[in-house]
């Protein structure tokens, strides 16, 4: 392949992609995942399982409210990953300003590095949720 000064240094394979920013979007949708008390594994927008890879360095988490969460009681929600369920936000009332803004950052323990492939979790406690839909846009880089 001839030398192209404009493409010099462009990453050509996933193997060499360390340090490049990646993003996944996960979603909680009461209509699909329900709202029982416990840990709920968030899925992509098509309800497929997704994970953040081993050695990923999570650099930011953006919360996007689509439909407000509701509860017949005083539900709390924590957002995080497998093994660190409050990495993004500790247990907080579902109707707290942290969850009612259209868009906000959730970076309780961010940045952080994963030590295994992990799922993104919403942990519902105290009372069940009865409605709601939100997305988390998670940025990370592949660490060593």
Domains parsed from the chain with CATH numbers: 25-142 (2.60.120.1110)
pLDDT at 16: 46
pLDDT at 15: 47
Query: pLDDT by residue (tens digit) across 97-127?
Result: 999 989 998 989 999 999 999 999 999 999 9
What is the reported pTM? 0.85
Residue 13 has pLDDT above 50, yes or no: no
Q: How far apart are CA 131 and CA 50, in angstroms?
A: 22
pLDDT at 45: 93
Please report which confidence band the pLDDT of residue 144 belongs to, taking 50, 70 and 90 as the band edges: confident
Higher pLDDT, 132 or 12: 132
Please report which confidence band the pLDDT of residue 137 belongs to, taking 50, 70 and 90 as the band edges: very high
Q: The tokens of 32 are what?
A: 């699909």
pLDDT at 95: 96
The three-state DSSP-derived secondary structure of the chain is CCCCCCCCCCCCCHHHCCCCEEEEEEEEEHHHHCCCCEEEECECCCCCECCECCCEEEEEEEEEEEEEEEECCCCEEEEEECCEEEEEEEEEECCCHHHHCCEEECCCCCCEECCCCECEEEEEECCCEEEEEEEEEEEEEECC
- The percent of residues in the chain predicted with pLDDT above 90, rounded, is 78
Please report which confidence band the pLDDT of residue 19 belongs to, taking 50, 70 and 90 as the band edges: low
């Amino acid at each position: 392949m001839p030398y192209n000064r404009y493409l010099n240094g462009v990453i050509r394979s996933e193997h060499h992609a360390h340090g490049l920013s990646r993003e996944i979007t996960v979603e909680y949708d009461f209509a699909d995942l329900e709202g029982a008390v416990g840990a709920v594994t968030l899925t992509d927008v098509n309800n497929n399982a997704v994970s953040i890879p081993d050695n990923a360095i999570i650099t930011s988490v953006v919360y996007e409210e689509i439909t407000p969460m509701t509860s017949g009681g005083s539900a709390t929600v924590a957002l995080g990953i497998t093994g660190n369920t409050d990495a993004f936000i500790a247990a907080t009332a579902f109707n707290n300003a942290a969850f009612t803004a259209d868009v906000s950052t959730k970076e309780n323990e961010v940045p952080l590095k994963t030590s295994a492939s992990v799922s993104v979790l919403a942990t519902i406690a105290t009372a069940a949720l009865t409605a709601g839909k939100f997305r988390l846009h998670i940025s990370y880089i592949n660490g060593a």
